[in-house]
Amino acid sequence: MRIWIVGAGSWGTAVAALLAKHGHRATLWGRDVEGIRAARENRKYLPGVRLPESVGFGTDPEAALTVVAVPTQHIRATLAPLPLRGPFVSLAKGLEMGTRRRPTEILAELFPGSRAAVLSGPSHAEEVARGLPATLVAAGEEPLAREVQAAFMGPTLRVYTSADVVGVELAGALKNIIAIAAGIGDSLGLGDNAKAALLSRGIVEIARLGVALGAQRPTFFGVSGIGDLITTCYHAGGRNLHVGREVGKGRPLREVLEGMSMVAEGVWTSRAALELAREKGIEMPITEAVVKILHEGKPPRDAVRELMMRDPKAEARDWGA
C-alpha cells in the first residue's frame, strides 16, 4: 500500500518506519525532511532510530492513504496547500483553538467528501520505534477502520477497530487536562491513592462531556481513553504532566510555558472543555479545578481540598446517560 505520512515529528517518523517494516511504500514529508533523508534519522525528534532504507521522503499525491501526523493547531495551515484527497488517518490529539473542531472535522472541511479515520492510544513514539509492544484504536467508518487496522497491525502493534470517531478524538484531546491535574498532584506529594483516584474520576468526567457531544461512553474506558490517560500520567517527560508539575510547585503558568519549545495542548483544551461543559450543563469538577489553578491563580491545595469535600455521591449515577 502507498502511504504518505504528513508530519515528521517523533510519532510521524516512528509510524513511517513501522509502516515501511510492514512492507508498505511509506513516504515521509515534513519541514526538516531533507535533513532526515540525509541522516536516515530524525535527530531532532526521534534520535537514535535508524529509518529503514525503504522509507521514501517527499510528497506522494498518489498515496492510497494519508497519515496526518501534525499537531492539531497546524493541520489547517499545513494541509490546505497540499495535493490531498484522502482517505486520511489522523494521529492528532487536540481541539483546534477558536473553532474547537476535532482533527477529522478540520479534514472534512478542508477536503469535502474525503473519508477520515483516527488512530489513537498509548503510544510514546520512542517505545514504538524501539519495537516495544503497543496497542491503538482505529476509529472510522468501514471499510476504512479495518484498512487502517490491517496497515498498522503487526508483531509489536495491536490495533482494535471502533466506529466511535468522536469518542476516540475527544478522549485523546481531553485526557491532557487530567494529565495536568496529575502533574499538580505529583508536585503536591498527594501519593499513589490520590493519583489513581484522579485518573478514575477524571475519565468519568471526560466521558460525561464526551457523551453529551456524541461519543460512546465505552470508548473512554478503553485503550484510547483510560489507556492513553495512564501513560500520559505515568510516563515521565510528557508535556502536559510537566506543565502540571511546574504549576504545582507554585510557578506561574506564563513562566512555565515560556520555557517550553512544544505546545502543551491541555492548557488550552481545559478552557475549551469547561466552556463546552457549561454550555451542556455538565459537571466537570477536576477540569474546573485545573482551569482555576492554571488561569485564575487558585492555590492548588485549596482546589484539592474542595474536590475532596464535595457532597457525598453515588459512584455511577450518570452512567446510564
- Are 109 and 125 in contact, with CB atoms under 8 Å apart? no
State in angstroms the smallest separation of the CB of 113 from a second copy. Answer: 26
Q: Say how many residues touch a second copy, by CB under 8 A.
A: 65
Interaction pattern, residues 273-312, with a second copy; x per rule: CB under 8 A: -------------------------------xx-xxxx-x
State in angstroms the smallest separation of the CB of 59 from a second copy. Answer: 30
State in angstroms the smallest separation of the CB of 89 from a second copy. Answer: 16
Judged by CB under 8 A, the residue of 33, 153, 212, 263 near a second copy is 153
Question: What are the CA-CA distances from residue 12 to residues 33, 92, 123, 146, 237 (Å)?
Answer: 11, 10, 12, 20, 18
User: Among 32-40, 65-73, 87-95, 198-206, which window interacts with a second copy (CB under 8 A)?
Assistant: 198-206
Instruction: Give residues 93-152 in contact with a second copy (rule: CB under 8 A).
Output: 121-124, 127-128, 130, 132-135, 137, 146, 149-150
Q: Scan for cell 502543551, then name that residue.
A: 264
Judged by CB under 8 A, the residue of 98, 113, 155, 250 near a second copy is 155
Residue 83 C-alpha cell reads as: 495535493
State in angstroms the smallest separation of the CB of 49 from a second copy. Answer: 14
Q: Which amino acid type is present at position 197?
A: A
Nearer to a second copy, 22 or 146 (CB): 146
| Distance between CA atoms of residues 26 and 15, nearest Å | 9
What's the start-to-end Cα distance of the chain, in Å? 41
Judged by CB under 8 A, the residue of 18, 203, 264, 286 near a second copy is 203
Rg, Å, the chain Cα set: 19
| Distance between CA atoms of residues 173 and 176, nearest Å | 6
| Distance between CA atoms of residues 248 and 226, nearest Å | 23
* Stated length of the chain: 321
Which residue numbers are catalytic? Answer: 175
State in angstroms the smallest separation of the CB of 230 from a second copy. Answer: 4
Question: What are the CA-CA distances from residue 288 to residues 189, 225, 263, 270, 291 (Å)?
Answer: 21, 20, 21, 8, 5
User: Among 12-20, 54-62, 94-102, 225-233, which window interacts with a second copy (CB under 8 A)?
Assistant: 225-233
Q: Scan for cell 482533527, then name that residue.
A: 103
Judged by CB under 8 A, the residue of 22, 235, 251, 298 near a second copy is 235
Please report how many Cα atoms fall inside a 13 Å half-sphere around the Cα of residue 304, on the Cβ side.
Answer: 19
258 binds a second copy (CB under 8 A): no
Nearer to a second copy, 136 or 177 (CB): 136
Alpha carbon 288 to its chain's center: 20
| Distance between CA atoms of residues 143 and 161, nearest Å | 10
Applying CB under 8 A, the residues found at the interface with a second copy are 121-124, 127-128, 130, 132-135, 137, 146, 149-150, 153, 155-162, 164, 189-197, 199-201, 203-204, 216, 218-219, 221-223, 225-228, 230-231, 234-235, 304-305, 307-310, 312-316, 319
